[in-house]
Structure 1
Amino acid sequence: MEDPPLASLSLTHVHYNPADPVSYVCAWLALVPQALCITYATLIWSTREAEVLLMFAGQMSCEALNWALKRLIKEERPRQMNGKGYGMPSSHAQFVAFFSVSLTLFLLLRHNPHAPHASPTHIPTSFAERALLSLAALASAAAVAGSRIYLNYHTPKQVLVGCATGAGFAMVWFAVTTYLRHAGWIDWGLDMRIAKYFRMRDLVVTEDLVDAGWERWEGRRRRRDGSVQEAHKKER
């Protein structure tokens, strides 16, 4: 029996021109969706935040929409293509457009770190800082989308449609999750036994992720410093 021919798992296989530095950078940009998926998984596991889970659910729904649209439209990639399958709309462009627009909507419209029940020791990022972060996300998404044209994986039209679809779906998803919040469905879900088992919470809307546990750590440090000072007084 001869060994069967081996196949290639081409999830991160990117063709580029090694003599072109821009092409090399674009090849790395092609890995951004995979990196974002790892970031999603890490944040969901480490923070247990409902908002992050909702955004990831929207991201996967957007991917399912892209899968359906490609098989419905059935438009081929560029003639001298470097990719397989259909090209309309660009999945990379749609992915990063959804992420960047969703992050922008959250930072500028939903994130409210000045809410009355926020941590009194918390110093949140300003609106200007959040706006700059949003611009950086949008610019990064544009770079990823542009790289698909530069590497000849998609036509400009396929990339533009992907960006428009991702951005539009992000707005729709934001409206849906806003309704779920106002209607009390998010609170209802967090009260379920399975949500409590996994310690799901909904703090990032009023607190930054970097604030998690900070107040508790500061209190522990103050108690420790107070104990040290008290010990020094007794020694004297």
Structure 2
Amino acid sequence: MDLDSDVLKPLGTFLVEYREGDFLGHGLAYFSQVPILAAMFIIGFWFRARDLHSPTMSVGLVLCVAVNLVLKNVFKQPRPYVHTHLKTYGMPSDHSQYMGFLATYVTGLICTRCRPLRSRLMLFSYGSAVVGVWTLALLVCCCRVYLQYHSPEQVIVGCCVGSGLALVWLSIVLNVLEPYFSTIASWPLLNLILDVPHR
């Protein structure tokens, strides 16, 4: 193999382009990585919290990404002209769909699982979590438009699809799966991996 004649291909997962000299674009390029950081945080939280809501949220996020791939191939709408060299379609925005799912799911879980709020500190903590996750979602959506990876319509559709999927998945988790959480938590393999407490 002759290394001098090989064409190098970048790993596209972390490649975010911005205009040279655009300091705002440079900063927003980092915000494009929030979905990846959020996935790592959720996995870490899963092992730390040892509950079953974290892995079910993770499964929902994976399903959300799968739905996004299907929708992109149904709509086949190109990205804005700046990024037409990319091999993927733009509708709907996967980053905004992921963040819409995450923000809606976290908000729904807090609203359904954390009542009644017994103190102002709890209200502040949960309120801060909701405001924080929606702020991150909004920043990711804005940076995808600013960096011209997606049109505003692609981002809005992505966020709406993600939010809708989150509501459906949260309803399935709370009404269908959660009644079996104590049984699932007693599975030997799950206890071996996470030492999940029986609740």
Q: Structure 2 counterpart of 1:138, which letter?
A: W
Aligned to 1:119: none
Aligned partner of 2:190 in structure 1 is: 195
Letter in 1 for 2:63: S
Change (3 A) 1:201 1:91: farther
1:86-130 Cα shifts (integer Å, max 9, x gaps): 000000000111111111111122134879xxxxxxx89422431
Q: 1:113 to 1:43 in 2, by over 3 A?
A: farther
Report the counterpart of residue 157 of structure 1 in structure 2: 153
**Match 1:23 to one of 22, 25, 30:** 25
The one-letter code of the counterpart of 1:26 is L
Residues 97 and 161 in structure 2, CA contact (< 8 A), matched pair in contact too: yes
CA contact (8 A) 2:145 2:151 kept: yes
Residue matched to 1:58: 60
Matching residue's letter, 1:141: A
* TM-score (normalised: structure 1): 0.75
Which residue number in structure 2 is paired with residue 141 of structure 1? 137
Q: 1:43 aligns with which of 15, 21, 45?
A: 45
Distance 2:34 2:84 in 1: 18
Match of 1:110 in 2: 113
* Cα distance between partner residues in 2 of 1:180 and 1:51: 13
> Which of 100, 104, 108 matches 1:101?
104
Distance 1:113 1:56, change over 3 A: farther
Matched residue, 2:89: 86
Equivalent residues of 1:82, 1:153 under 8 A apart: no
Give the Cα separation in 2 of the matches to 1:194 and 1:134.
Answer: 33
Question: Unaligned stretches of 5+ in structure 1?
Answer: 116-122, 204-236
Match of 1:168 among 148, 152, 164: 164
CA distance in 1, matches of 2:71, 2:103: 21
Question: What stretches of structure 1 move > 3 A for 4+ residues in a row?
Answer: 112-115
Q: Relative to structure 1, is the Cα distance of residues 29 and 74 closer, same or farther in structure 2, using a 3 angstrom cutoff?
A: same
Q: Given the superposition, is the C-alpha separation of residues 105 and 76 from structure 1 closer, same or farther in structure 2, using an over 3 Å criterion?
A: same
Bigger radius of gyration: 1
Deviations 1:160-194 (A, max 9, x none): 00000010011111100011255x22222112222
Q: Report the equivalent of 1:2.
A: 2
In structure 1, how many angstroms separate the alpha carbons of the residues matched to 2:161 and 2:94?
10
Decide whether the 8 Å contact of 1:77 with 1:83 is kept in 2.
no
- What is the root-mean-square deviation in Å for CA atoms of aligned residues? 2.3
| Residue pair 1:113, 1:124 contacting (<8 A) in 2 also | no
Are the counterparts in 1 of residues 93 and 158 from structure 2 also a CA contact under 8 Å? Answer: yes
Tell me the distance in 2 between the aligned counterparts of 1:6 and 1:13. Answer: 14
**Could you tell me the percent identity over the aligned residues?**
25
* 1:74 maps to 2:70: no
CA–CA distance in 1 between the matches of 2:115 and 2:197? Answer: 16
Contact 2:117 2:123 in 1 (8 A): no
Check whether the contact 2:25–2:146 (CA below 8 A) recurs between aligned residues: yes
Letter in 1 for 2:122: S
* CA contact 1:30–1:148 (8 Å) conserved in 2: yes
**Could you tell me the TM-score, scaled by structure 2's length?**
0.88
Q: How many residues align?
A: 195
